[in-house]
Chain A
Amino acid sequence: MRAREATARRYAKAVYELARDSGDSDAVGRELAQVAAIVGGEAAVHDVLTRPWIKPDDRRGIAAAIAQKAGARKLVQDFVGLVAERGRADHLPEIVSAYRALVDAEHGQARARVRSAVALTDQEKQELSARLERALGKRILLEERVDSTLLGGFVAQVGSLILDGSLDGQLARLRQRLAGG
């Protein structure tokens, strides 16, 4: 897993440096995420781009065509084509994450992945972002998703920092205390 992430970081860094030089790092990031979503969402496309017996040139052409179809710029088309040609199309989600991390570092911001039992209101999001920004000293971008398995509250993750404000976490701690005597 670590090797896979390291590989994804190398690809992400390469495309990020090109995008930064052209001043479109944010847009490139969005387009990359869009293409990755298409590749990951369509099983047939994913299979074609990851099968080793399909010729590398064909994989490259197909990937570039998909990116073009999605309206991505030339840099993204070439990059996705290169990734597919090298047989790393299954690394796209990790590449997108690594790219985002680079962009975030550039802008001095961090992403907070928030899982909540019910959708957070705008006010709650603002409040949470503000508190996280104060706590971490960075601009925070909230990525929220509703997790119906949670009882109540939310779990926020910023990098390696996890803030557990869920009822599940409280119950888990209570369970641990009870079991530990």
Chain B
Amino acid sequence: MIRVLAIAALLLGATPVAVLASEGGGGLINLDRSLIIQAINFALLLFILAKLLYKPLLTKMEERTLAIRKSLDEAQAARAEAQREREEHAARLQAAHAEAQAIRAAALKDAAEEQRKLVEAARGEAARLVESARAELASDVRRARQDLRQEVSELAITVAERLIRKSLHDEDHRRIVADAIARVDKAN
């Protein structure tokens, strides 16, 4: 508004100069009543312009300013929101990362424990198998020895029986019977 009035005053100041300059013999502005009419016209025009043009323009400008400010505020808010969300996402990501790390660590620990148990069980089983195989082997050896002893004794006794049967004479029988009779008292 001030600027408009300044422009109008400038125009008013310049006009007499232009009129006087062109007057040598009469210009556009004369310092008489017409000047007052012109001034009134001018003021009237100024008023109308201010009323019909300047005020809507100012209102529009104001609205525009407000809209821009609002947009700026919204942009600021959106930026702040985005920043907040970004931070929130970063925090969430960090928490997820930490949780993943914890899960991984727990899984690694579980796997290590499971591996330890498996190894321990495998060692136990291996020891048991070895012990069982050793016992079985010992049993087999014992059985084989017993079988061998049995067979050898059977063989020896069979051979002895054949030899005795072949070599026994009547006098041997008599002596054997006499020995057996002599043992009757002792046996009882």
B166 CB, min distance to chain A CBs, angstroms? 11
* Any B CB within 8 A of the CB of A40: no
Task: Encode B144-169 as 1/0 by CB contact (under 8 A) with A.
Answer: 01100110111011001100110010
A34 CB, min distance to chain B CBs, angstroms? 31
B173 with A152: CB separation less than 8 A: yes
A128 with B184: CB separation less than 8 A: yes
| Interface size band for B | 20 to 34
Q: Give every chain A residue within 8 A of B173 (Cβ-Cβ).
A: 117-118, 152-153
Q: Give the interface segment out of B96-104, B122-130, B174-182.
A: B174-182
Number of cross-chain contacts by CB at 8 Å: 77
B180 with A165: CB separation less than 8 A: yes
Most buried by A among B145, B177, B185: B177
B127 CB, min distance to chain A CBs, angstroms? 31
* Any A CB within 8 A of the CB of B187: yes
A124 with B172: CB separation less than 8 A: no
B152 with A178: CB separation less than 8 A: yes
Task: Encode A89-122 as 1/0 by CB contact (under 8 A) with B.
Answer: 0000000000000000000000000001110110
B164 with A151: CB separation less than 8 A: yes
Q: Give every chain A residue within 8 A of B150 (Cβ-Cβ).
A: 179
* Any B CB within 8 A of the CB of A6: no
A131 with B176: CB separation less than 8 A: no
Binding site for A on B (CB under 8 A): 145-146, 149-150, 152-154, 156-157, 160-161, 164-165, 168, 170, 172-174, 176-181, 183-185, 187-188
Interface CB pairs A-B, < 8 A, 27: A116-B177, A121-B174, A124-B177, A127-B181, A131-B181, A131-B184, A135-B185, A151-B165, A152-B164, A152-B173, A152-B176, A152-B177, A153-B176, A153-B177, A154-B177, A154-B180, A156-B184, A165-B180, A174-B153, A175-B154, A175-B157, A178-B152, A178-B156, A178-B157, A179-B150, A179-B153, A181-B149
Binding site for B on A (CB under 8 A): 116-118, 120-121, 124, 127-128, 131-132, 134-136, 151-154, 156, 163, 165-167, 171, 174-175, 178-179, 181
